[in-house]
Copies of this chain bind each other. A is one copy, B any other.
Amino acid sequence: MSVHTNYIEVATKGRRDVVDLSRQLVEIVAGTGVQDGVVIVFVPGSTAALTTVEYEPGLVKDLDAFLERLLPHRAEYAHHDTWHDDNGAAHLQAAVMGPSLAIPLVNGELALGTWQQPVLVDCDTRPRKRRLVVQVIC
């Protein structure tokens, strides 16, 4: 067995910026030479999440609008009293979606649907640099 640990560095715009991770994941997998295993993706930080979507501009806009409607940026959050911060909504949006993803790797290919892209959703209120951890386990 082996664990190959790699990183993806992403500069986001924050505010529900959705970043397609497909290309970098394919490159990492190819670099390991692993054919069959599982790919774990994890985002350190509590104001960003990982999921899969069909990455097209309409849905990116829809996801943004939905998250803002579900947890409005300008509502009151007790978190703001703790740190005089303004990203309570971002924390909750990220917590609901979750920070980890497990994608099977079969015959050297990620087992994704044709219209399914692994994405980072950065909910924070300002641009951020994120360093995702990608592990190929086989």
Residues of chain A having any CB pair with chain B under 8 Å: 1-3, 5, 36-38, 40, 42, 44-46, 51-54, 56-59, 61-63, 65-66, 70-71, 77-83, 88, 91-92, 95-104, 106, 111-113, 115-117, 133, 135, 137-138
Contacts and interface: CB of A to CB of B under 8 A. Distances in A.
B58 A116 contact: no
B97 A96 contact: yes
B91 A62 contact: yes
Number of this chain's copies in the assembly equals: 3
Given A5-B106, A36-B5, A98-B101, A54 B46 contact: yes
Contact of A104 (B42, B63, B71, B96): B42
B46 A95 contact: no
A102 to B, nearest CB: 4
Contacts of A117: 46
Contacts of A51: 95-96, 98-99
Given A63-B95, A100-B101, A135 B38 contact: yes
A77 B58 CA distance: 7
A44 B96 contact: no
